[in-house]
Chains A and B, each alone.
Chain A
Amino acid sequence: MKYIKMAAAAAAIALAASACGGDGGDGGNEKVPAELEVWMMGEGTPEQTKFLDDVETEFKKDHPETDVKIKYVPWPQVATQFQKAAASGEGPDVTELGNTDVQSHIEQGNLADITDLLGDWADGKTLNKTALENDQADGKTYAVPWYGGVRGVWYRQDWFKELDIATPKNWAELTAAAKKVEDEKDVPGIGVASDHTNAIISFIWGNGGEVAVKEGEKWTGKLDQPQAIEAAEYYAGLDDSGKYVGKNELEGPQRDFALGKVGMYFDGSWALKQLKEISPDDADKWAVFPIPAKSGGNAPVMAGGSDVAVWRDTTNKKVSFDYIKVLNNAKNAKAWADYSGFSSMRSDVSFSDPKLAIFTDIAKNTKFPPMTAGWAEFEQAKKVLPNTLKAIMQGGDAAAEMKKANEQANTLLNP
């Protein structure tokens, strides 16, 4: 019995050791895999599939015996899919990840350590530094920034011209512009969705506020500070139609904007494609200006976006990383940016479409939300900011609601 116990203990230790660090299997003697499973987030479109087919063709030049199998995971199912993958061990080899989820994935032990492989990749130096920091923990790297996107204010150019409104440069002008559109066009001036963490956070930052800052080892919430409260109050008061309470930009304002039923709304560069789908002939009526800070200038924006990583359970770490290298080389990154409307995270790639040039400008002032594994719960499961804003929009006291939100930040961000 004793020996069996000892053997079991030894096996457990060996397992634990291989799980923590080295990830056995690399080191040049990997077998050539017959298939590489790649998960992409979203619904997948014919164009995206074509783009990925081209990537596969290029990848096969170096790995002729490996087929690439793409699986699309719709965003709303992302959390459950990854949980299933972790539980069953039937995960992908390479996967796209929402960048705000990366820290959670690292914490949960889902991703392979790719520090060395990244070090050997010359293109690694072109990657956005802040975005790369988001993929690191304890000095190790677990993912590669792929593309990102920032929000701006989409507005009806033709109405602004007709009503003689200049593009707003600060909060006062934004309110005035919204009011004028509302009075003259009889539609909400600006579509403010309460379920829109990314937009809300820009207003908090644009007023010198913060969600939380790291003090020592702990994240301390700052949502009860006057700057944040004022920003929340301002955001909640931008639109009093009540139409977008409890909704996000895709459920409400985007459609209305495309159909001419709202004057402005917050969204990213990728929205152009969806807007054109809803209302194909109106593309020249739309334009974008940066979200203004309270006293002028561009408010900092949250860089949403996606990273690519090697899943921890893969037996082909090297080949998997080779796929990432091809996917995110300069040529493919450019093709992807132009097709998708998302900015590349490589410093040497930019958009071709002049309409989207403004986003390159906006992206100069990006910020990341608190980099902690607790952010995923704060943002997704508990939707703290959206629910707080919703309460304020429905007449709740801003200071009291933000105080509650701050208590949640204090607990959730320190898991």
Chain B
Amino acid sequence: MLDTAPAVRKPPGRRTAGRPRPRRRPRFGPYLLIAPTVVVIAVLMFWPMIQIGIMSFQKVGTRQLRGEPAESVGLENFKDILGDPFFWTTFKHTVLFAVVAVSLTMVIGTLVGLLLNKLGKRMSNLVAGGVMVAWATPPITAAIIFTWLFGTTGGLVNWTLDLLPDFLVGGDWLGYNWFAKPLPTYTVLTICVVWQACPFVAVSVLAGLKSVPSELYEAARVDGSGPWRTFWSITYPMLKPIFLVVLVMSIIWDFKVFTQLFIMAGMANRDAFNLSLYAYSEAFGSMNPKLGDGSAIALVLTLILLIVTALYVRVMVRQGETR
């Protein structure tokens, strides 16, 4: 660390001196190497984002898709959506769901990671492989499986709940419709999403744990520290960067959940929409697409995620400074 300090102080001195460095050669190599990636990312990610930004200030329907010039409507689209109480319902759903799902993912994922670390090598591999299957399941498949599990006719969950004694869970489960109201719909959605996201957290935590020197744990054990104390005094501080990355990624994923909810609630249950589904239904829901409104919603969602990411970068940078 110390040897970098003079380098930081140098530039002002160089500038006041006002003479060019003698052996300065432009180095294109690295830029050439990174250029293809930048171009691909720009085309695939930045351009669509810019396009969405432009479209959110325009009225865009099929005629405009055909090539007719799009009429600029200023802030009209944003006024439309922000003035619609329905937008705030979907906003509320998005945020509440993210808070619950992210918390559960982090807690359960970490616990599974700790468990994996405790297991013997073979068992650990077996269980890790098992949980990775959940991670590898495509969201659409997972969503369909969960809709079946919680179905009203022949659903395994209703059947099981009905077999359990009534004083425990209440009766009349066979015909219970999980997808009629937002709360039970989101309950199923949370189970599905958390089930799929936990393995990633678990395996990341496991990877982190492998890098913690075992002497630390030995010392803790000698000092008589229990598992709770050991976790907060050793594991957590050591794995903090991993937790941060995983946390931010989970937040981004759970804010954007679309596929699973689309399968479970469908277009008919507007009262269970989140922001993504709302944007989709505005933009692509009928033969009269309102791509402008859809883009505006997507832009709002993007802004929220940018704020989250900015906070994350700030934390990361600060962490670097203190070290």
Chain A residues in the interface with B (C-beta under 8 A): 78-80, 82-83, 86-87, 89, 101, 104-105, 107-110, 188, 194-195, 241-248, 251-252, 255-256, 259, 261, 373-374, 376-377, 379-383, 386-387, 390-391, 394, 415
* CB-defined contacts of A243 to chain B, threshold 8 Å: 152, 175, 177
CB interface residues, B 31-90, toward A, < 8 Å: 61-63, 65-66
**B282 touches A (CB below 8 Å):** yes
* CB-defined contacts of A387 to chain B, threshold 8 Å: 268-271
Q: Determine if B286 and A380 form an interchain contact, defined as CB atoms under 8 angstroms apart.
A: yes
Q: Determine if B288 and A104 form an interchain contact, defined as CB atoms under 8 angstroms apart.
A: yes
Q: Determine if A246 and B179 form an interchain contact, defined as CB atoms under 8 angstroms apart.
A: yes
Chain B, residue nearest A77 (CB): B284
Q: Closest 3 interchain pairs by CB?
A: A381-B285, A87-B65, A195-B268
Taken together as a complex, chains A and B put the C-alpha atoms of A108 and B63 apart, in Å, by 6
Name the residue in B179, B265, B267 with the highest tally of chain A Cβ atoms < 10 Å from its Cβ: B267
**B181 touches A (CB below 8 Å):** yes
A and B contact pairs by CB, cutoff 8 A, 24 listed: A78-B287, A82-B287, A83-B284, A87-B62, A87-B65, A89-B66, A107-B288, A194-B268, A195-B266, A241-B175, A245-B177, A246-B266, A376-B286, A379-B286, A380-B267, A381-B267, A381-B282, A381-B285, A381-B286, A382-B285, A387-B268, A390-B180, A390-B269, A394-B180
* CB-defined contacts of A101 to chain B, threshold 8 Å: 287
Q: Determine if B285 and A380 form an interchain contact, defined as CB atoms under 8 angstroms apart.
A: yes
Taken together as a complex, chains A and B put the C-alpha atoms of A347 and B110 apart, in Å, by 69
**B139 touches A (CB below 8 Å):** no
* CB-defined contacts of B288 to chain A, threshold 8 Å: 104, 107-108, 373-374, 376-377, 381, 415
Q: Determine if A246 and B177 form an interchain contact, defined as CB atoms under 8 angstroms apart.
A: yes
Chain A, residue nearest B178 (CB): A246
Taken together as a complex, chains A and B put the C-alpha atoms of A108 and B289 apart, in Å, by 10
Q: Determine if A87 and B66 form an interchain contact, defined as CB atoms under 8 angstroms apart.
A: yes
Taken together as a complex, chains A and B put the C-alpha atoms of A308 and B241 apart, in Å, by 60
Q: Determine if A246 and B180 form an interchain contact, defined as CB atoms under 8 angstroms apart.
A: yes
Q: Determine if A109 and B179 form an interchain contact, defined as CB atoms under 8 angstroms apart.
A: no
Q: Determine if B175 and A79 form an interchain contact, defined as CB atoms under 8 angstroms apart.
A: no
**B124 touches A (CB below 8 Å):** no
Q: Determine if A242 and B282 form an interchain contact, defined as CB atoms under 8 angstroms apart.
A: no
Q: Determine if B282 and A109 form an interchain contact, defined as CB atoms under 8 angstroms apart.
A: no
* CB-defined contacts of B61 to chain A, threshold 8 Å: 108
Q: Determine if A380 and B268 form an interchain contact, defined as CB atoms under 8 angstroms apart.
A: no
Q: Determine if B287 and A104 form an interchain contact, defined as CB atoms under 8 angstroms apart.
A: yes
Instruction: Choose one: A104, A256, A381, A390; the contact of B153 (CB below 8 Å).
Output: A256
* CB-defined contacts of B153 to chain A, threshold 8 Å: 252, 255-256, 259, 261
**B281 touches A (CB below 8 Å):** yes
Q: How many positions in chain B have a CB within 8 Å of any CB in the partner chain?
A: 28
Q: Determine if B286 and A79 form an interchain contact, defined as CB atoms under 8 angstroms apart.
A: yes
* CB-defined contacts of B282 to chain A, threshold 8 Å: 381
* CB-defined contacts of A376 to chain B, threshold 8 Å: 286-288
Instruction: Choose one: A79, A87, A245, A377; the contact of B180 (CB below 8 Å).
Output: A245
Taken together as a complex, chains A and B put the C-alpha atoms of A383 and B289 apart, in Å, by 14
Q: Determine if A80 and B177 form an interchain contact, defined as CB atoms under 8 angstroms apart.
A: no
Chain A, residue nearest B284 (CB): A80
Knowing A242-B177, A247-B179, say if A380 contacts B287 (CB, 8 Å).
Answer: yes
Q: Determine if A382 and B270 form an interchain contact, defined as CB atoms under 8 angstroms apart.
A: yes
Taken together as a complex, chains A and B put the C-alpha atoms of A244 and B153 apart, in Å, by 11
Taken together as a complex, chains A and B put the C-alpha atoms of A107 and B152 apart, in Å, by 41
Q: Say what secondary structure dominates the interface of chain B.
A: loop
B46 CB, min distance to chain A CBs, angstroms: 20
* CB-defined contacts of B281 to chain A, threshold 8 Å: 381-382
Knowing A83-B62, A86-B62, A110-B62, say if A394 contacts B284 (CB, 8 Å).
Answer: no
Q: Determine if A244 and B65 form an interchain contact, defined as CB atoms under 8 angstroms apart.
A: no
* CB-defined contacts of B66 to chain A, threshold 8 Å: 86-87, 89, 109
Taken together as a complex, chains A and B put the C-alpha atoms of A82 and B287 apart, in Å, by 8
Knowing A86-B62, A86-B65, A109-B63, say if A383 contacts B287 (CB, 8 Å).
Answer: no
* CB-defined contacts of B265 to chain A, threshold 8 Å: 246
Knowing A109-B66, A382-B270, A386-B268, say if A244 contacts B177 (CB, 8 Å).
Answer: yes
Chain A, residue nearest B270 (CB): A387
* CB-defined contacts of A251 to chain B, threshold 8 Å: 266
Taken together as a complex, chains A and B put the C-alpha atoms of A109 and B66 apart, in Å, by 9
Instruction: Choose one: B152, B181, B285; the contact of A79 (CB below 8 Å).
Output: B285
Taken together as a complex, chains A and B put the C-alpha atoms of A194 and B281 apart, in Å, by 19
Given contacts A108-B288, A109-B63, A387-B270, 13 further A-B contacts (CB under 8 A): A89-B66, A101-B287, A104-B287, A105-B287, A109-B66, A243-B177, A245-B180, A247-B179, A251-B266, A376-B287, A380-B286, A381-B288, A383-B270
* CB-defined contacts of A255 to chain B, threshold 8 Å: 153
Chain B, residue nearest A241 (CB): B175
Chain B window 257-273, contacts with chain A (Cβ cutoff 8 Å), 1 for yes, 0 for no: 00000000111111100
A254 CB, min distance to chain B CBs, angstroms: 10
* CB-defined contacts of A242 to chain B, threshold 8 Å: 175-177, 180
* CB-defined contacts of A256 to chain B, threshold 8 Å: 153
A236 CB, min distance to chain B CBs, angstroms: 13
* CB-defined contacts of B65 to chain A, threshold 8 Å: 83, 86-87
Q: Determine if B287 and A108 form an interchain contact, defined as CB atoms under 8 angstroms apart.
A: yes
B174 CB, min distance to chain A CBs, angstroms: 9
Chain B, residue nearest A379 (CB): B286
B158 CB, min distance to chain A CBs, angstroms: 10
Chain B window 238-260, contacts with chain A (Cβ cutoff 8 Å), 1 for yes, 0 for no: 00000000000000000000000
A240 CB, min distance to chain B CBs, angstroms: 11
Chain B, residue nearest A255 (CB): B153
Instruction: Choose one: A89, A252, A383, A415; the contact of B267 (CB below 8 Å).
Output: A383
Taken together as a complex, chains A and B put the C-alpha atoms of A87 and B66 apart, in Å, by 5
Q: Determine if A252 and B286 form an interchain contact, defined as CB atoms under 8 angstroms apart.
A: no
B183 CB, min distance to chain A CBs, angstroms: 12
* CB-defined contacts of A382 to chain B, threshold 8 Å: 270, 281, 285-286
A238 CB, min distance to chain B CBs, angstroms: 15
* CB-defined contacts of A105 to chain B, threshold 8 Å: 287
A326 CB, min distance to chain B CBs, angstroms: 27
* CB-defined contacts of B285 to chain A, threshold 8 Å: 79, 377, 380-382
Chain A, residue nearest B181 (CB): A394
B265 CB, min distance to chain A CBs, angstroms: 7
Taken together as a complex, chains A and B put the C-alpha atoms of A80 and B63 apart, in Å, by 14
Chain A, residue nearest B281 (CB): A381
Taken together as a complex, chains A and B put the C-alpha atoms of A381 and B265 apart, in Å, by 14
A78 CB, min distance to chain B CBs, angstroms: 8
Taken together as a complex, chains A and B put the C-alpha atoms of A387 and B181 apart, in Å, by 11
Q: Determine if A79 and B177 form an interchain contact, defined as CB atoms under 8 angstroms apart.
A: no
B176 CB, min distance to chain A CBs, angstroms: 8
Knowing A86-B65, A86-B66, A242-B177, say if A248 contacts B286 (CB, 8 Å).
Answer: no
